[in-house]
Amino acid sequence: MTKLEIDVLSNITEWTVEAAQYAKNHLNQISDIEEKSGEYDLVTSLDKNIQKIFNQHIQEKYPDATIIGEENFDKNYSDIDKGLTFFVDPIDGTLNLVKKHDCFAVMVGVLYNGESLCSAIIDVMNDKLYWGGIATGVYCNDIKLNAAQDSPLKNGLVGVSWRQFLKNSFSEINIAKHSAGARVMGSAGLEFIEIITGKHIAYIATLMPWDIVAGKILVESLGYKITNVRGNKINLKKSNNIIVANELAYKDIRKLQMRG
């Protein structure tokens, strides 16, 4: 397992850095901005081209692997429990990319036989690559990150996704009221990074599998809790309402949800 983790990590970190460089080089040539599920759910030529770069690399190195890519037309979840599966989000935070050329990530998370293996998330405009795995631990560039520290909800900031926060479907507003404050990054990858760097205490969001896997592997590797909002295991074949937090803040959040 460790040998496979090291091999896959050396490839995905290289590809992620290459993708980030491609994104930077093409920031002023973004074309074909299209809407997906709505006016603020966008896809651009950059998302599609970076998806192609990942597909080519993965198919060349790991021809038997399954690829679940946000911008791939076909998403076949039937084999994600067998061998290697790569979940790729070529641009995470496309609305930020389009509106402010900042605060977006490229991310890839890898499962082996359905279990977390390793992942990489790059904060493109800050040149910070977060990478690691269950056996390796987690690094920012070449600095090792610390394991999760326990702290109650009231002491920390909570990351939320904006439109879902307005809906308040699982007590997000009440949870935020019991924390030091709510923050909105507009990129799931960057929200996971706020957790693993100790800047946010929790993250509550509705996310697709490619928004989840890379961050999930990094937070798990550092000992954070990550479940759906009912406290159950996340299903990587569909959209999930997730909670990520340290042990103590997680308990506080679940208690608040149960109280309604």
| Alpha-carbon 137 to chain mean position | 17
Shortest reach from residue 47's CB to Ca ion, in Å:
6
Shortest reach from residue 166's CB to Ca ion, in Å:
21
Residue 93 sits in the site that holds ligand 2AM (CB under 6 A): yes
Residue 92 sits in the site that holds ligand 2AM (CB under 6 A): yes
- Specify the amino acid at residue 179: S
Round to whole Å and give the CA distance between 62 and 26: 28
Tell which positions 58-87 bind Ca ion, by CB under 5 A: 70
Q: State which of residues 161, 171, 179, 257 lies at the interface with ligand 2AM (CB under 6 A).
A: 161
- Which is closer to Ca ion, CB of 23 or CB of 248? 23
Shortest reach from residue 68's CB to ligand 2AM, in Å:
13
Spell out, one character per residue from 179 to 198, where the chain touches ligand 2AM: x when CB under 6 A holds, - when not: -------xxx----------
- Which is closer to ligand 2AM, CB of 69 or CB of 186? 186
Q: State which of residues 68, 129, 207, 249 lies at the interface with ligand 2AM (CB under 6 A).
A: 207
- Which is closer to ligand 2AM, CB of 145 or CB of 207? 207
Residue position matching structure tokens 């599966």: 85
**What size, in residues, is the chain?**
260
Q: Which two tokens stand for residue 13?
A: 């970190």
The partner in contact with residue 208, picked from ligand 2AM, Ca ion, none with C-beta cut-offs of 5 to 8 angstroms by kind, is ligand 2AM
Tell which positions 26-85 bind ligand 2AM, by CB under 6 A: 37, 40-41, 70
Shortest reach from residue 88's CB to ligand 2AM, in Å:
11
Q: State which of residues 5, 89, 194, 252 lies at the interface with Ca ion (CB under 5 A).
A: 89
| Alpha-carbon 116 to chain mean position | 13
- Which is closer to ligand 2AM, CB of 115 or CB of 162? 162
78 phi, psi to nearest 5 deg: -65, -25
- Which is closer to Ca ion, CB of 42 or CB of 153? 42
Q: Which two tokens stand for residue 38?
A: 């709505």
Residue 172 sits in the site that holds Ca ion (CB under 5 A): no
By C-alpha distance, which of 230, 172, 220, 169 is closest to 196?
220
Round to whole Å and give the CA distance between 33 and 70: 16
The partner in contact with residue 71, picked from Ca ion, ligand 2AM, none with C-beta cut-offs of 5 to 8 angstroms by kind, is none
Binding residues vs ligand 2AM (CB under 6 A): 37, 40-41, 70, 89, 92-94, 161, 186-188, 207-208, 211
* Interface ranges with Ca ion (CB under 5 A): 70, 89, 91-92
